[in-house]
DNA sequence: CCAAAAGTGTTGCGATTACACCCATGG
DNA sequence: CCATGGGTGTAATCGCAACACTTTTGG
């Protein structure tokens, strides 16, 4: 490494993705089946190595586009980095994990580009404790848990929930995001009042839809506010 | 990089530190004056390269001990990673930034080990917008801002504030942490009720102290709870 | 005695909950 | 006409900010 001290050890930098969505009203994570050693045949989080001249953020955006075909309409943020020297048997690989949220039932796995080295792509259901039924490769179970926890926490005080919805959505659809991610059932009436009352959170479109059945519901877009005040509070766990 | 694809670009991994403390009741950050190019003579966040067989977390712990002499008694958590290819003119250096909080008026800079390459070490005052009077090297201003923001946010719902206090502290001392970090003046009476009422947050020691003047105050230690429910709410900004 | 900081009691208000009730559609 | 989801009204309650007041020290 020219210009740097001799003792500096080179590492490979990877950008991995925790891509969450809702399938049939429950939380799912995007996974690829590994076609190569190590962990061949195991499910893993999508990701890849950061290229020359690329930041981890840009690499994550690129991987996300490659894997899902979705360009924008996705929320993407850095989650954390994982640098345990033993986390990858091939050598010193440091992963910058990112959290992505994509709209419900968008980008079904069949429609995904099977490009690159991904042999098989699927939405795996996420359990209440933030894990999958089948074990994940590397330390990806840990990364997934951190991602799910982050998503759950941020729903409370941020406008993140709308990232799971289409561009235009109803209050009911938004509420079902909270129900699914938190595993609760919020009161539809109070939820309605709360989110429509929070300034800057929802932009009324003016039109209505009956796609959810029942009485026509007003359509909204995400408003300019990124934080939600007062927050939507998660119901306390029963003691 | 043996065992890895040819296209993988090697990067140097650094662990940088945002070390915050209170000096005379106001927020300060630990900085070192750079003795080498690039940015020679500028203040920078303390940090260094991750060594062989070391995780970024361990490297941060090592740097923190080297720089402050403080072993435990410090809160340390990962903040975020910075991987812009142009962030270091020497080459591809990715920084995993960490946030550390040390007790008020502990480890004054004079007492710090001037070991390693640090020519000069100081606590720099942090302004309300999370920056320093003098510019910092690299992208460290950005990292500092992110660290201060994280600290401010986590005070609300976590037991983080106690990290700024000695092992045993009074409710008043804890309140002054909030006052300093948030730049507000909380009501001493309501604050007292709130923190002593939160289960698991404070462990009463049983003894008292008059070191803050006035009536003797009960001493507490950090309780087992890491999250604070209900949270301490930051007073709303005046519109 | 006075100043200063620690604690306790009380009161009023605003947010939240729990639910009754009405609305507008599709089948 | 009924099931379904959308939306509004309202009363009981909870949490909390505001502040009066008492306690216990040092000087």
Residue A113 to residues A65, A68, A71, A117, A120: CA-CA distances in angstroms? 9, 7, 13, 11, 10
CATH code for the domain in which residue A111 is found: 3.90.79.10
In a domain, A238, yes or no: no
Distance from CA of A130 to the nearest CA of B (A): 19
Q: pLDDT digit string (tens) for A144-172? A: 999 999 999 999 999 999 999 999 999 99
The residue among A186, A157, A192 whose CA lies nearest residue A171 is A192
Q: What is the DSSP letter of B111?
A: G
Q: pLDDT digit string (tens) for A74-127? A: 999 999 999 999 999 999 999 999 999 999 776 666 545 554 444 689 999 999
Looking at the structure, tell me whether residues A135 and A180 fall in a common domain: no
Domain C-terminal end among B98, B121, B155: B155
Looking at the structure, tell me whether residues B110 and B216 fall in a common domain: no
How many distinct structural domains can be found in chain B?
A: 2
| From B120, B156, B166, B168, the catalytic residue | B120
Looking at the structure, tell me whether residues B129 and B208 fall in a common domain: no
Query: H or E stretch including B61?
Result: helix B56-68
Query: H or E stretch including B188?
Result: helix B188-197
In a domain, A2, yes or no: no
Q: How far apart are CA B39 and CA A128, in angstroms?
A: 49
CB A162 within 8 A of CB A183: no
In a domain, B29, yes or no: yes
Looking at the structure, tell me whether residues B143 and B163 fall in a common domain: no
In a domain, B239, yes or no: no
Looking at the structure, tell me whether residues B68 and B178 fall in a common domain: no
Looking at the structure, tell me whether residues B69 and B80 fall in a common domain: yes
Averaged pLDDT of chain A = 91
Task: Answer whether A49 sits within 8 Å of B93, measured CB to CB.
Answer: no
Looking at the structure, tell me whether residues B44 and B138 fall in a common domain: yes
pLDDT of residue B109: 64
Looking at the structure, tell me whether residues B111 and B173 fall in a common domain: no
Find the domain containing B163 and state its range.
158-222
Task: Answer whether B56 sits within 8 Å of A90, measured CB to CB.
Answer: no
Radius of gyration over every alpha carbon of chain A, rounded to an integer in angstroms: 19
In a domain, A1, yes or no: no
Asked if B57 reaches chain A (Cβ–Cβ under 8 Å), the answer is yes
> Is residue B71 scored above 70 in pLDDT?
no
Task: Answer whether A1 sits within 8 Å of B8, measured CB to CB.
Answer: no
Average pLDDT for B184-188 = 95
pLDDT of residue B113: 52
Domain C-terminal end among A156, A183, A212: A156
**∠ CA B84-B86-B91 to the nearest 5 degrees?**
110
CATH code for the domain in which residue B166 is found: 1.10.10.10
pLDDT of residue B40: 94
Structure tokens of A27?
Answer: 């939380």
Looking at the structure, tell me whether residues B131 and B163 fall in a common domain: no
In a domain, B19, yes or no: yes
pLDDT of residue B4: 77
Residue A13 to residues A82, A194, B11, B93: CA-CA distances in angstroms? 10, 43, 7, 11
Which of A8, A55, A60, A152 would you mutate first to test chain B, the one with the most B CBs within 10 A? Answer: A8
Asked if A37 reaches chain B (Cβ–Cβ under 8 Å), the answer is no
Q: What residues of chain B lie within 8 A of the CB of A13, using their CB?
A: 9, 11, 83, 94
Q: How far apart are CA A122 and CA A30, in angstroms?
A: 6
Mean pLDDT is lowest, of A147-156, B112-121, B202-211, for: B112-121
Buried b (16+ CB within 10 A) or exposed e, B121-137: bebbebeeebbbeeebb
Q: pLDDT digit string (tens) for A12-29? A: 999 999 999 999 899 999
Asked if B53 reaches chain A (Cβ–Cβ under 8 Å), the answer is yes
CA dihedral A108, A113, A119, A122 (to 10 degrees): -10
Looking at the structure, tell me whether residues B129 and B167 fall in a common domain: no
Looking at the structure, tell me whether residues A102 and A202 fall in a common domain: no
Q: pLDDT digit string (tens) for B3-23? A: 777 779 999 999 999 999 999
> Is residue B228 scored above 60 in pLDDT?
yes
In a domain, B231, yes or no: no
| From A120, A156, A166, A168, the catalytic residue | A120
Looking at the structure, tell me whether residues A189 and A147 fall in a common domain: no
Kindly identify which residue of chain B lies nearest to residue A15, measuring between CA atoms: B83
Structure tokens of B29?
Answer: 């950050």
In a domain, A3, yes or no: no
């Amino acid at each position: 490494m020219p210009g740097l001290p001799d003792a500096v050890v080179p590492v490979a930098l990877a950008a991995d993705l925790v891509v969450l969505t809702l399938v049939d009203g429950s939380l799912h994570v995007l996974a690829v089946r590994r076609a190569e050693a190590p962990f061949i045949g195991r499910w893993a989080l999508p990701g890849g190595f950061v290229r020359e001249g690329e930041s981890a953020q840009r690499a994550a955006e690129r991987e996300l586009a490659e894997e899902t075909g979705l360009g924008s309409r996705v929320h993407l943020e850095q989650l954390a980095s994982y640098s345990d020297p033993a986390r990858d048997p091939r050598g010193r690989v440091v992963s910058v994990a990112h959290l992505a949220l994509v709209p419900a039932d968008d980008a079904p796995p069949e429609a995904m580009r099977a490009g690159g080295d991904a042999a098989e792509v699927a939405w795996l259901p996420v359990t209440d404790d933030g894990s999958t039924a089948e074990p994940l490769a590397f330390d990806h179970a840990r990364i997934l848990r951190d991602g799910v926890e982050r998503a759950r926490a941020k729903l409370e005080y941020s406008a993140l929930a709308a990232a799971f919805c289409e561009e235009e959505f109803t209050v009911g659809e938004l509420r079902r995001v909270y129900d699914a991610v938190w595993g609760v059932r919020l009161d539809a009436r109070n939820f309605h009042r709360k989110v429509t009352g929070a300034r800057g959170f929802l932009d009324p479109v003016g039109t209505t839809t009956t796609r959810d059945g029942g009485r026509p519901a007003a359509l909204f877009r995400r408003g300019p506010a990124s934080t939600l005040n007062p927050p939507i509070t998660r119901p306390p766990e029963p003691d």
